[in-house]
A = this chain, B = another copy of it.
Amino acid sequence: MAKTIFIETLQEGDRIDELFLVKSARLAETRAGKPYLILTVMDKSGELTGPVWDNAERFQELCQPGECIRVKGMVQSYREKLQLKVDEVTPVAKEETDMADFLPATIHSRTEMAAELQKIISTVTNPFIRKLLGRFFKKGEIWDRFQDAPAAKGIHHAYVGGLLEHTLSMARVADMLSGHYEGVDRSLLIAGALLHDLGKIEELYMENGLIDYTARGRLKGHLVIGSEMVGKVAAQIADFPEELLEQLQHLILSHHGRQEYGSPTVPMTVEAFLLNYIDELDSKMNVLEQLRRKLNSTEMSWSDYQRSLERYLYLNALQDEKTEAGRKEEGLTVRQQTLF
């Protein structure tokens, strides 16, 4: 059964019979002592919560977080917010579904981004670096995880494919700036852009729609993990120059720019300075883009207070924007050509 209706398009009064992912389900009790279930479901476009008044215990068993379910019910309004009144829940095998329907994901085609990234690698002139990049970004477990991984837990690019999107965007900017500034080692800078967050595929994991840290991720951090991954693969390439490796690892280790942001060493080479700025730039631009995608009006208006940025923002909607659910069908590639 394919998913056809997405949460962000639902309106009060809609009757539904649709697939969702269970985010959480917990038992509560009415004043009268009768148990009921408070169920939260999600798909890639948002979340919806609502009560299941009958058969609470039985449904709770079906509704394990991360499971796919088929829900029959109705969309109601409660305290000016939509809620889902659930009449019936049926389990659905994950194999029959496309997880991309349920998890928030990049709006760009991962296939096309991957191809673009391969094309950039082919332009790297330093043969050792090109070989090294080839080892990571070719068929295999790392490359598979790389394409699915989010780029962060909760700030920027925090969705399926976010790491790929962020990495590719940075590589494009790195390409531009290595043409603009004299004397930049383009091979090193491109490699830095492509590998700087590599460690995130071991630092973060995504389960049932939630991104969280692995123990290794917290204990070592993605900078050190990424540096180690690069060190191990370089050791398998004959005659990989030691200093080239050290400069590359320096790019990864220093890309947060300051020790207080978690970099054990600060940028000390031209490429390390550039990489740090490109990373900050691209991360912030994604935060702003995510906020703008939720706006309706092309008029400038003030956002809520953004705690992570410690300020209010003055923004308008991205102008040619469509609903996210509809975007897919109409072919994303056209607009994308202008982005990448």
Contacts and interface: CB of A to CB of B under 8 A. Distances in A.
Contacts of A292: 183, 270
A247 interface: yes
Interface residues of A, number: 70
Interface in A279-302: 280-281, 284-285, 288-289, 292, 300, 302
Contacts of A250: 219-220
A234 to B, nearest CB: 12
Which among A172, A213, A221, A223 has the greatest number of chain B C-beta atoms within 10 A? A221
A183 B291 CA distance: 12
Contact of A180 (B173, B182, B231): B173
A232 to B, nearest CB: 9
B268 A221 contact: no
- Tell me the dominant secondary structure on chain A's binding face: helix
Interface string A252-280: 01000011111111101110011001001
B220 A253 contact: yes
Nearest to A317: B183
A227 interface: yes
Nearest to A318: B183
Contact of A176 (B176, B216, B300): B176
Interface of A: 26-29, 31, 78-80, 169, 172-173, 176-177, 180-183, 213, 215-216, 218-221, 223-224, 227-228, 231, 243, 246-247, 249-250, 253, 258-266, 268-270, 273-274, 277, 280-281, 284-285, 288-289, 292, 300, 302, 310-315, 318-319, 335, 338-339
5 contacts: A27-B80, A183-B318, A218-B302, A220-B250, A224-B224
